[in-house]
C-alpha cells in the first residue's frame, strides 16, 4: 500500500482519488508516521439502522391512545 505525505496528498488529491476509486487504497502520513488509510467507498455500508427494522416484532395495542386514561386524568385533576 502506497504511503503519501499530507502535502503530496493535498497537491495530488484528484489523481489519488482516481486511484482509490479504481480500488487502490493508500496511507496518508505526517513526517513519515501513518495517520489515516484512504480506501474505496463500499455502497452497501449503512451508517445507522434503517427505519422500520422492528416491523413484525413489535405491536401497538388498538387502545394505545386511551390506555391508563383515567389514571392520567386523575394526576392532572386540580379540583380540591
What's 30's domain CATH number?
3.40.1620.10
Enter the pTM of the model.
0.53
Q: Strand 26-30 vs strand 2-5: parallel, antiparallel, or unpaired?
A: parallel
Q: Is residue 25 part of a domain?
A: yes
C-alpha of 45 from chain center: 9
Cβ neighbours around 5 below 10 Å, total:
13
Strand 33-38 relative to strand 2-5: parallel, antiparallel, unpaired? Answer: unpaired
Number of domains in the chain: 1
Instruction: Please tell me the distance from the alpha carbon of residue 26 to that of residue 16, in angstroms, as a whole number.
Output: 8
Q: pLDDT by residue for the chain (80 residues), tens digit each? A: 899 999 999 999 999 999 999 999 999 999 999 999 999 987 766 667 778 888 888 888 888 888 888 888 888 877 65
Give residue for cell 416484532. 57
Domain housing 7: 2-38
Amino acid at each position: 500500500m502506497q504511503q503519501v505525505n499530507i502535502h503530496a496528498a493535498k497537491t495530488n488529491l484528484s489523481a489519488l482519488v482516481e486511484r482509490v476509486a479504481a480500488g487502490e487504497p493508500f496511507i496518508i502520513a505526517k513526517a513519515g508516521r501513518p495517520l489515516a488509510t484512504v480506501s474505496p467507498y463500499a455502497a452497501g455500508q449503512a451508517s445507522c439502522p434503517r427505519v422500520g427494522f422492528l416491523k413484525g416484532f413489535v405491536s401497538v395495542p388498538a387502545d394505545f391512545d386511551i390506555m391508563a386514561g383515567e389514571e392520567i386524568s386523575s394526576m392532572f385533576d386540580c379540583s380540591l
